[in-house]
Amino acid sequence: MLVIDGDAGRRVALATALGAEAHDVEMASAAATGAQLARSSRPDLVIIESVLADGSGTEVLSVLRRDPSTSRQLVLVIGPAGDEIDRVVAFEQGADDYVTRPFSMRELLLRIRALLRRTRSSTPPDTITLGAVLIDRGTRRVTVNGAAVALTRRELDLLLRLFDSRGRVLARETIVADVWREDSASERVVDTTLKRLRRKLPMLSRQIRTIRGIGYELTVDEVISR
């Protein structure tokens, strides 16, 4: 793992906590050094403080996402609680998670475990059960208590995209790029499609959280998949 943080005390505290979890940790105090280490070491996860002496965490994130060698690295950004713009920009640039400071080290470690667990079990399941909702990825069939529910291609693709990133906030920009791909679409189409999806699957409505100014998150307490 790589920790990029200009605050020496926080940098060491993070490295110590991660080391206690049996992670190998490298540290950098500046944006340029951190980006270079991310390319050369290919860490499982990069933790970036949003404010650095020679730049910002989102600038480092942007550099990593543009470079093919680091574009798929997990990145967690740490930033101030009151800076909503920084949080929005981080997710727009492709952050996998964002933690506000001051933070609980225990919560941070739990979030890191969740990120790594999702990556290590990245093969999508063929069938997914969310309460009364059953999704068959292969046949693209959705049922509720055994009764078929007709979803459009985009509605189902959006639901699957949210499921595959469950517990993680997805920016509207990311959803458009992943679901609509080559088709030109505005970010408003995401809101419209989500509205229809919630109407067709009201039992999932509360689990699909709207993150104001950013996008959406699917929160799932229990999933049965195979």
Q: In 47-134, where does DSSP find H-type helix? A: 57-66, 84-92, 105-120
DSSP bridge pairs for 130: 133
- Whether 110 and 12 share a structural domain: yes
- Whether 76 and 173 share a structural domain: no
Domain of residue 163, CATH code: 1.10.10.10
For residues 49 and 78, the answer to whether their CB atoms sit within 8 Å is: yes
> In the listed set 89, 120, 151, which residue is the last one of a domain according to the structure?
120
The residue whose two tokens read 């088709």 is: 183
β-pairing, 208-211 with 215-218?
A: antiparallel
> In the listed set 120, 147, 179, which residue is the last one of a domain according to the structure?
120
**pLDDT the model gives residue 22:** 86
The single-letter code of the amino acid at 82 is G
Domain of residue 18, CATH code: 3.40.50.2300
End-to-end CA distance of the chain: 30
193 burial level (CB within 10 Å; 0-12, 13-18, 19+) = buried
**pLDDT the model gives residue 197:** 94
- Whether 162 and 185 share a structural domain: yes
Sheet holding 26-28, edge to edge: 26-28, 2-4, 45-49, 74-80, 97-101
**pLDDT the model gives residue 224:** 46
Can you tell me the distance from the alpha carbon of 62 to that of 60, in angstroms, rounded to the nearest whole number? 5
Domain span at residue 187 reads: 127-225
- Whether 115 and 178 share a structural domain: no
Q: What size, in residues, is the chain?
A: 226
- Whether 149 and 209 share a structural domain: yes
- Whether 8 and 107 share a structural domain: yes
Mean pLDDT of successive 10-residue segments in the chain (226 residues)?
Answer: 90 91 90 89 90 86 85 87 82 86 87 77 71 89 93 92 84 84 74 93 91 86 51
- Whether 58 and 149 share a structural domain: no
Structural domains counted in the chain:
2
- Whether 116 and 131 share a structural domain: no
Can you tell me the distance from the alpha carbon of 114 to that of 165, in angstroms, rounded to the nearest whole number? 11
> In the listed set 102, 120, 138, which residue is the last one of a domain according to the structure?
120
Is the model's pTM score more than 0.75? no
For 212, list phi and psi in degrees, rounded to 5.
-55, 130
- Whether 103 and 134 share a structural domain: no
- Whether 192 and 219 share a structural domain: yes
